[in-house]
Amino acid sequence: MTFKNSLKTAIKGLRVNKSRSALTILGIVIGITSIILIMSLGKGAQELILNQVRGLGSATIIIEPGRESQGPSAFSSLFTDSLKDREVEALKNPSNVPGLEELSPMVVLSAPVSFETEVHTFMVLGAASLIAEIVDVYPETGQFFTDEQVQQLASVAVIGSEVKNKLFGPSDALNQNIKIKSKVFKVIGISPKKGQVGMLDVDNSIIIPYSTAQKYLSGMNYYHEIIVKAKSEEVVPETVQDIKTTLRELHNITDPSKDDFQVATQEDIAQRVGTVTSVLTIFLSAIAAISLVVGGIGIMNIMLVSVTERTREIGLRKALGATTKNILTQFLLESVILTLLGGVIGIILGISYSFIASLILSRVIGSNWQFTVSLQAILLGLGVSGFVGLVFGLYPARAASQKSPIEALRYE
């Protein structure tokens, strides 16, 4: 018996019970739909975050104070005051870190900001002028502060587009005075609408010189972060190494596991984000896979009923010359066709739902959420559904093929 004829026979067998076949595959449809949806959304989220990270530029290196987290109980916040002016000066020395082009110490805090009667809380970033280049926030109106202004502890601020809207509404913000905490700052620039860059919501932030932030706002002598720009992408690895060596010498650290700082490149961060979203996607897909197991058991159940119902048919086929293998193939094909059909419907539904979800998400988040469906997800969906049919169809198909022709023909 040719495979083509086995296939035809199996399809005929299924068409006799159309509505039952349709109900049987519901579990598979739901399972595959959720897996495709989860994989697509996971991929979309990953792309979104990675794009933000890549927005920092590939020559960017970030130094953070504190030890690398060793697990949930370890204090990653230990030694949070390890980056101060002394460290900044040492890093700036070209004989220590020759690959460093420029750096910006960062002071990050959240503070109430007021203009006339409007008061809102915003993220305030103390930075050097380098940050304008790295985050690409050169103001559309006005200008960014210069390094001289940083040295002079100037009270100037560049505000994000949302900050401008909330504080000033439609009226002009340039050269107006705002109050951060109780200190008066002059608005010298308004940055363009950017959305998220790195982990930073630029539109809802105010950028001021780090020196001013340290002295008047945070009141601390340490930095939350140092952003380094390497001379080129190629020198990033050795620059990272030089930074580590310099800081270790300065802090008298011989054992790298006792570092009181962390150095990460844009690539490191991208990788970390990738790992987190992948793990999350796999975890959620595994939950969705449970419905596939349930669906598979449903298929097995219905196929067993079908085998019992068709005992006479099986006996007849055997009497007319069907071998055990012929019967096994026919029933196995029936269940694989069922699950593959469920898989295809699930893939189509999953893609449609992902598309709708991506439309909603890009509206809600307001950023450019990409609709992505990977070929891998589709192939996985097909593979898994076919596999479920094979595994859960085997037992009923074996039961069918083992029937003795006389027992089967006698069955009423």
Point out which residues bind another protein (CB under 8 A): 1-2, 5, 9, 12, 16, 312-313, 315-326, 404-406, 409
Q: What is the spatial distance between Cα 391 and Cα 239, in angstroms, rounded to a whole number?
A: 55
Structure token pair of residue 401: 């093929």
DSSP per-residue letters across 130-182: HHHHHTT---SEE-PPPHHHHHTT--EEEE-HHHHHHHHTTS--TT-EEEETT
SS3 105: strand
Smaller CB separation from another protein, 192 or 405? 405
Smaller CB separation from another protein, 66 or 315? 315
Smaller CB separation from another protein, 2 or 95? 2
Smaller CB separation from another protein, 10 or 123? 10
What's the closest the beta carbon of residue 402 comes to another protein, in angstroms? 11
What's the closest the beta carbon of residue 329 comes to another protein, in angstroms? 11
What's the closest the beta carbon of residue 409 comes to another protein, in angstroms? 7
Q: How many CA atoms lie within 13 A of 214 on its CB side?
A: 21
Nearest C-alpha neighbor of 49 from the set 221, 256, 197, 222: 197
Smaller CB separation from another protein, 256 or 321? 321
Smaller CB separation from another protein, 198 or 315? 315
Q: What is the spatial distance between Cα 19 and Cα 13, in angstroms, rounded to a whole number?
A: 13
Match 């022709």 to its residue by tokens.
Answer: 405
What's the closest the beta carbon of residue 317 comes to another protein, in angstroms? 7
Structure token pair of residue 122: 């915003």
Nearest C-alpha neighbor of 115 from the set 164, 178, 169: 178
What's the closest the beta carbon of residue 303 comes to another protein, in angstroms? 18
What's the closest the beta carbon of residue 25 comes to another protein, in angstroms? 21
Smaller CB separation from another protein, 353 or 411? 411
DSSP 377: H
Q: What is the spatial distance between Cα 294 and Cα 226, in angstroms, rounded to a whole number?
A: 52
Nearest C-alpha neighbor of 241 from the set 258, 257, 265: 265
Smaller CB separation from another protein, 241 or 402? 402
SS3 154: coil
Q: How many CA atoms lie within 13 A of 48 on its CB side?
A: 21
What's the closest the beta carbon of residue 8 comes to another protein, in angstroms? 9
What's the closest the beta carbon of residue 16 comes to another protein, in angstroms? 5
CB burial of residue 33 (10 Å; 0-12, 13-18, 19+): buried
What's the closest the beta carbon of residue 20 comes to another protein, in angstroms? 14
Smaller CB separation from another protein, 74 or 406? 406
Smaller CB separation from another protein, 242 or 313? 313
Smaller CB separation from another protein, 244 or 317? 317
> Is 284:78 a contact under the CB 8 Å cutoff?
no
Q: What is the spatial distance between Cα 78 and Cα 261, in angstroms, rounded to a whole number?
A: 10
- Name 341's Cβ contacts closer than 8 Å, sequence gap at least 6: 25
What's the closest the beta carbon of residue 22 comes to another protein, in angstroms? 17
SS3 209: strand
> Is 292:361 a contact under the CB 8 Å cutoff?
no
SS3 42: helix
What's the closest the beta carbon of residue 274 comes to another protein, in angstroms? 53
Structure token pair of residue 138: 């050169």
DSSP per-residue letters across 335-357: HHHHHHHHHHHHHHHHHHHHHHH
